[in-house]
Amino acid sequence: MIEPNYSISHRILKHISQIEAAKEVIENAPLVPFWERQFREEKALRQIHHSTKLEGNMLSLDEVEAVLSGEKIVAKRREIQEVINYRKVTEYIDMFQSSDKTQISEDTIKTVHSLLVHEILPDKWSGEYRKANVVIEASDTKEVTHRAPDFEAVPELVRSLVDWLNSEEIADVHPILKSGIFHVIFAKIHPFIEANGRTSRAVSTLILYLEGYDIKKFFSLDEYYDEDPLSYYLALQSVQGIDGDMTEWLEFFSEGLAVELDRVKRRVLEMSKEYKTRKSKGQIALNERQELILHYLEDHGQIRNKDWRELIPDVSDDTVLRDLKDLMDKEVIEKKGKTKAAYYQLTD
């Protein structure tokens, strides 16, 4: 079985502490349900764009969004297919997490790879371990930066990695360390002929999700890596082989998650207007009409009868008034004025 070589440095402890603090804020921020759909859609878009871009895909964020919306764009067929495929992977990860499965298997990894290379690689290479030896070269100098293990050793190495991931011996290892260790060891094994980077990032994300660190699926580590690809690849290269010291890599990995979650945390707080609704005590369940009303209030400060009739024209006055009363009961909004001059605003 794989025996990772690393130390718990002060930097790792600091980053994990920052992650836990941001996680607490994000998961318990008032009115987060109002923004959840938007955050998740944005995160999925960014993740697909940045993970494929790291591997050389030249589509812009706007072009990726157009592809995912079903629009036709002028681009290489392969680049369009990579985007479509990665969306299938994100859907698979969501489905896997919502199922009763709790462990990642070889089949899980092979499925992710198959989805990633659909209509890109021949079927004989889809979800199948490589049958040749490979070396990893620097894109600029062509210098060999890593010699992957002999192809004949790949099946046993992947099985050993999966066994380690699911073993009782690491039950108390922090999920962030588990995810980071899997990421780098998988990259060192380099089990497939292509798409190893995307596979490792996707599966390491799934590990976080299964261990309770989906954090409402608001974050994208791929975006952090793509902001400075050189640092990402140098951090991976800092691990010399499967048995190499992973401490420096885990410092980078944990820092990436800390930075990304801090960015999400600050945006959550900003969009909730610095806890304007702090009285509401945690999460609030909102229907779509109430979301529209609150979005309008965030933009305009107040809403009157004529405003919500234009905003939600196909809903009866009685229904909207019930929604408004519910929001007042939850102390999210308050009513000002009387009769025709009345209006609603967010509570202070």
Task: Write out pLDDT tens, residues 219-277.
Answer: 999 999 999 999 999 999 999 999 999 999 999 999 999 999 999 888 887 766 544 54
Residue 69 is assigned to a structural domain of this protein: yes
Helix (H) or strand (E) holding 143: none
Q: State the CATH number of the domain containing residue 332.
A: 1.10.10.10
The rounded mean pLDDT for the chain is: 90
Do the domain assignments include residue 3?
A: no
Domain identity same for 194 and 305: no
The reply to whether 95 falls in a domain is yes
Q: Is residue 321 part of a domain?
A: yes
CATH number at residue 147: 1.10.3290.10
Residues 98 and 39 in one domain: yes
Q: Specify whether 14 is located in the same domain as 59.
A: yes
Q: Do residues 46 and 139 share a domain? A: yes
Token pair in block for residue 341: 């001059």
Residues 46 and 110 in one domain: yes
pLDDT average, residue stretch 168-178: 96
Whether residues 124 and 217 fall in one domain: yes
Asked whether residue 157 falls in the same domain as residue 263, the answer is yes
312 & 219 share domain = no
Asked whether residue 186 is assigned to any structural domain, the reply reads yes
Number of domains in the chain: 2
**Is residue 121 assigned to a domain?**
yes
| Residue 50, pLDDT score | 96
DSSP three-state, residue 269: helix
Whole-angstrom distance, CA of residue 49 vs CA of residue 104: 25
* Cβ atoms within 10 Å of 288's Cβ, excluding its own: 10
CB 332 within 8 A of CB 277: yes
The whole-number pLDDT of residue 138 equals 66
* Strand stretches in the chain, DSSP E: 135-137, 144-147, 303-304, 333-336, 343-346
Q: Structure pTM?
A: 0.80
Last residue of a domain, one of 271, 306, 336: 271
DSSP 4-25: -B----HHHHHHHHHHHHHHHH
Is 280 within the bounds of a domain?
no
- Please check the confidence at residue 137 and state whether its pLDDT lies above 80: no
Which domain, by its residues, includes 102? 10-271
